[in-house]
């Protein structure tokens, strides 16, 4: 759907609850596009599955990220970046 900016502004609430993408124009020139985002209502979200996905991502991140303390020690530096005693 293509709408002028005035009509878009007047109908924004209606358009935000719709499903259709809107091309916004001003004097025939395209200013941008409005695409309403469809989200599931909170009661439809499976919080247990969502929590498990987050925890899995955190586990993978920890497994694949080098320990900065070990890296600093390899360069002869302590956790604050100070040189370690010889």
Name the band, by pLDDT with cuts 50, 70 and 90, for residue 44. confident
Domain of 9?
2-34
DSSP output for 57-70: HHHHHHHHS--HHH
> Residue 50 pLDDT > 80, yes or no?
yes
69 belongs to a structural domain = yes
- The residue ranking higher by pLDDT, 61 or 42, is 61
61 belongs to a structural domain = yes
Dist. CA 57–CA 80, nearest whole Å: 28
Q: Average the pLDDT over 24-36 and give the result.
A: 93
Residue that the structure tokens 């360069």 belong to: 75
Residue of 17, 15, 20 whose CA lies nearest to 5: 15
Dist. CA 26–CA 84, nearest whole Å: 65
Share of the chain above pLDDT 90, in %: 53
Asked if 47 and 29 sit in the same domain, the reply is no
């Amino acid at each position: 759907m293509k709408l002028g900016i005035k009509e878009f502004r007047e109908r924004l609430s209606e358009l935000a609850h719709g499903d259709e993408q809107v091309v916004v124009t001003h004097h025939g020139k395209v200013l941008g596009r409005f695409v309403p985002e469809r989200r599931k209502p909170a009661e439809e979200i499976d919080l247990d599955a969502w929590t498990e996905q987050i925890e899995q991502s955190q586990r993978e991140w920890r497994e694949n990220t080098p320990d900065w303390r070990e890296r600093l020690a390899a360069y002869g530096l302590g956790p604050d970046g100070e040189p370690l005693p010889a």
